[in-house]
Amino acid sequence: MTLIDTFFNVDVFVGVFPALLRGVINTLLLGVLAICFGIPAGIVISLLRLYAPRPVRWLTIAFIDIFRAVPLLVVLILIYFALPFVGIRLSAWVSATLAFSLVMSAYSAEVFRSGIESIPKGQFEAAHALGLSFITTLRKVVLPQAIKLVIPSMTSNCVSMFKDTSLASAVALPELLKEANDAQAFFASPTPLIGAALIYLAFLWPMVRLVTYVEQRSKLQNSR
């Protein structure tokens, strides 16, 4: 058997393609859910980190530090395999979504915190002089500017989140890598794994280029 037949077997790839397609859909869905839950939670956590009473700030700092320090795979395994010992049983989907969202919120909180802190304090003073409340100042003055500043970093985090969805195979969630692993064992061929790698490249490479474009555009706008 030639190298091409081993790693790029067309018949095997055609046979496994429907399973890989299911895996891609699940991968995209998991990534989107983690981002949709994680980013809003990150904004809230960053605001608490900056403006809440001191005990709440300490709790948010602990949350951010813990979920940025502990590997995502460890968080996922703890939720899926450890919680049942205290009577909390979550499905693979719920466990993965929760784990990814928690980690995404922690990283997002730090990104938004840096964005908010980069806004000059004069913006708050000017808004106060105009009679705007603190909440209105955050909502209409500070957050829009901060979000614009952190778009490049958040875009990069989102790409990383889609890449990390492959870790969900550890809890038997049928995402792309899990489907490829199962197919590799069934067909006794590495072709499904090569196919999965090519699919990851096909939908993540444009995102990587988007990150580069957004970063360059942001630098250009800031230099004006």
Compare 210 and 161 and report the one with higher pLDDT.
Answer: 161
Q: Is the pLDDT of residue 1 over 60?
A: no
Average pLDDT of the residues in 166-183: 88
Provide the mean pLDDT of the chain: 89
User: Could you read off the pLDDT of 46-97 as tens digits, one per residue?
Assistant: 999 999 999 999 999 999 999 999 999 999 999 999 999 999 999 999 999 9
- As to burial, measured by CB atoms within 10 angstroms (0-12 exposed, 13-18 middle, 19+ buried), residue 96 is buried
User: Could you read off the pLDDT of 85-136 as tens digits, one per residue?
Assistant: 999 999 999 999 999 999 999 999 999 999 999 888 888 788 878 888 888 8
Quick one: pLDDT at residue 39?
95
Give the residue carrying structure tokens 């983690």.
34
Quick one: pLDDT at residue 151?
85
Quick one: pLDDT at residue 44?
95
Give the residue carrying structure tokens 């209105």.
136
- As to burial, measured by CB atoms within 10 angstroms (0-12 exposed, 13-18 middle, 19+ buried), residue 69 is exposed
* pTM of the full structure: 0.88
Query: Hey, what are 192's tokens?
Result: 């499904």
